[in-house]
Amino acid sequence: MNLLAVERIKLFSTRSPWWCALITLALSVGFAAIMAGATEPTDPVTISATQFGASQFGIAVVMVLAALAVTTEYRFNTIRTTFQAVPHRSPALVAKAAVVGLLSLVLGEIAAFGAWGLGVVMRPNDNLGLHTTQDWLNVAGIGPVFALSAVLAVAVGILVRHSAGAIALLLIYYLAVEELVQLIPKIGAHIHEWLPFNVANKFLRGSEVVNGPAPSDSPLSPGWALAYFAGIAIVFLLVALGVAKKRDA
């Protein structure tokens, strides 16, 4: 518990988490307002459309937040003090991942329900009620995906250690690589089915094909999709912990 408290203090004593949190909320709610305002009255807005900002851009900002939580310590050499206090290193890094993940979970839920609530207010005649399990996953599922994305970003931050490099790697992969993989002849579509953020999208949206972001082509069910995404995040974190133990701070 002491490690969690220390990591919480370190995280909230810098400005970047606050700015990233505000940007995430602004993007999530802002895109919901755009979707609700720009769509013709005869064309109903869907629940997943209200989550466009959170599911497409909010995740990117959360990963920036998580990567900075680690790389900033390497940049200013405060990580050395942390490792002197916790020689085994892994507990401190796991505590950091837990704190960042919990913050991202809460931030995701606030962003998702805020965007959905705004959609309900702006489009009261559309069917935006949370009536089915998939409806709830569209909204409440944003928090777990944010949390796991943050853990994955912490792992990448530990491995890369440089802010610019970690952020560039995360954003390029998230915003471009998974889509570009589909262009590989013959095998691209099959590889894309198992890429992490595509699978996470299956958890959020199921097989929905109506208005909103393109659905995932993953063959997994929503429940297994979340488990798969969580497994990838945990594997990356374990690899990062192993590397952190073996190299100099």
Highest mean pLDDT among 5-14, 89-98, 127-136: 89-98
For 42-55, give one letter per residue: b (16+ CB within 10 A) or e.
eeebbbbbbbbbbb
- Residue pair 116/47 in contact by the 8 Å Cβ criterion: yes
pLDDT at 227 over 90: yes
What is the gyration radius of the CA atoms in the chain, in angstroms?
A: 19
The pLDDT-based confidence of 38 (bands split at 50, 70, 90) is confident
Residue 106 structural domain = 2-246
Q: Torsion angle, CA of 56/14/85/241, rounded to 10 degrees?
A: 10
Question: Residue 194 corresponds to which amino acid?
Answer: W
pLDDT-wise least confident of 122-126, 144-148, 194-198, 225-229 = 122-126
Q: Running DSSP on this structure, what letter comes out for residue 213?
A: S
CA-to-CA dists, residue 65 to 29, 70, 200, angstroms: 18, 9, 19
Quick one: tokens of 42? 């005869």
What is the predicted pLDDT for the residue at 2?
82
The pLDDT-based confidence of 59 (bands split at 50, 70, 90) is very high
Instruction: Please tell me the distance from the alpha carbon of residue 163 to that of residue 6, in angstroms, as a whole number.
Output: 21
**pLDDT, tens only, 135-188:** 899 999 999 999 999 999 999 999 999 999 999 999 999 999 999 999 999 899
- Of 6 and 197, the structure prediction assigns the larger pLDDT to 197
**SS3 call for 65:** helix
> How many domains are there within the chain?
1
Sign of CA dihedral 32, 33, 38, 44: positive
φ and ψ at 186, to 5 degrees? 70, -50
Residue with tokens 């777990």: 144
Quick one: tokens of 236? 């990356």
- If one counts every other C-beta atom within 10 angstroms of the C-beta of residue 33, the result is 16
User: What is the residue-averaged pLDDT of the chain?
Assistant: 90
- Residue pair 23/61 in contact by the 8 Å Cβ criterion: yes
